[in-house]
Amino acid sequence: MRVKQVDLVMCNRRYDNCLRCVHDPYCGWDKDLNVCKPYSPGLLQDVSNSTIDVCDSSVIKKKMVVTWGQSLHLGCFLKMPAVLSSQTITWYHYSKDKGRYKIQFRPEKYIETSERGLVIIAVTEADAGRYDCSMGASLLCSYNVTVDAHRCAPPAKTNDYQKIYSDWCHEFEKYKSAMKTWERKQAQCASRLNDSNQNNHPNEIYRPLV
């Protein structure tokens, strides 16, 4: 008979969220304290991955107030347990105008991070509402986002300045692209005008209309 010794702080150090904790047979999630502990009766555990909503009562729910035009990062966790690594993670947005809809990632607006998080570029009033991150039928985390369109506060942290600089660079690249498109169209128009002038007969006489 082998006796397994579990360090009392091992579970807390290894797992920072409910989903990761409950799949370790030696650990369990304390939903009251939101920490992972060595397993004992009363703690949440789902080693066989048979209970879909085992962690719903421990879902991270946050409220965020953001300034119009800034970029916003929403995240739930650092790593997924190996047994769930192949599961699909989906972000949903609930808004007053559109109701509930699935976020479709695209580089100019919604970006998925390497940790399955969500970055929203240049938020507007339309981006306000609730954002839910789900794995199948299980809710992983939820954010209630309010967009303050009237406040334009100066950045308070170095990271905020970096975000603003990144946003400015993004807008400047869009401006340069638009300018190149305009210059190309202007060159095409000038070329067509020259071709038209060359096709006119040199001996043509234009008489004023009487």
CATH of the structural domain 1-52, one choice from 3.30.1680, 3.40.50, 3.40.91, 3.30.450: 3.30.1680
Structure tokens at 136: 């199948």
pLDDT attached to residue 135 = 78
pLDDT attached to residue 203 = 54
Kindly report the CATH number that applies to the domain delimited by 59-179.
2.60.40.10
Considering only CA atoms, which of 27, 137, 20 is closest in space to residue 82?
20
Distances in whole angstroms, Cα of residue 47 to Cα of each of 82, 115, 194, 196: 12, 23, 76, 78
Parallel/antiparallel/unpaired status of strands 89-95 and 129-135: antiparallel
Strand 72-74's sheet: what is its strand order?
72-74, 118-120, 110-112
∠ CA 40-45-48, nearest 5°, is 130
SS3 178: helix
Residue ranges matching CATH 3.30.1680 in the chain: 1-52
User: What is the value of pTM for the model shown?
Assistant: 0.54
pLDDT attached to residue 102 = 92
pLDDT attached to residue 157 = 59
47 Cβ neighbours under 8 A, 6+ residues apart? 22, 23, 24, 25
Residue ranges matching CATH 2.60.40.10 in the chain: 59-179
Distance between CA atoms of residues 81 and 6, nearest Å: 19
SS3 163: helix
Structure tokens at 144: 């209630």
Name the CA dihedral angle for 61, 84, 31, 63, rounded to a multiple of 10 degrees.
Answer: -10
Distance between CA atoms of residues 24 and 18, nearest Å: 11
Query: Please, what is the end-to-end C-alpha distance for the chain in angstroms?
Result: 117
List the chain pLDDT tens, one digit each, 210 residues: 554 555 556 888 888 778 778 888 899 998 888 889 999 999 998 887 777 677 877 777 889 998 888 889 998 765 555 555 667 889 999 988 888 889 999 988 999 887 788 999 989 889 999 999 887 777 888 899 999 877 655 555 566 656 666 666 667 677 777 778 888 888 887 777 777 666 665 555 555 555
Parallel/antiparallel/unpaired status of strands 99-102 and 110-112: unpaired
pLDDT attached to residue 144 = 93
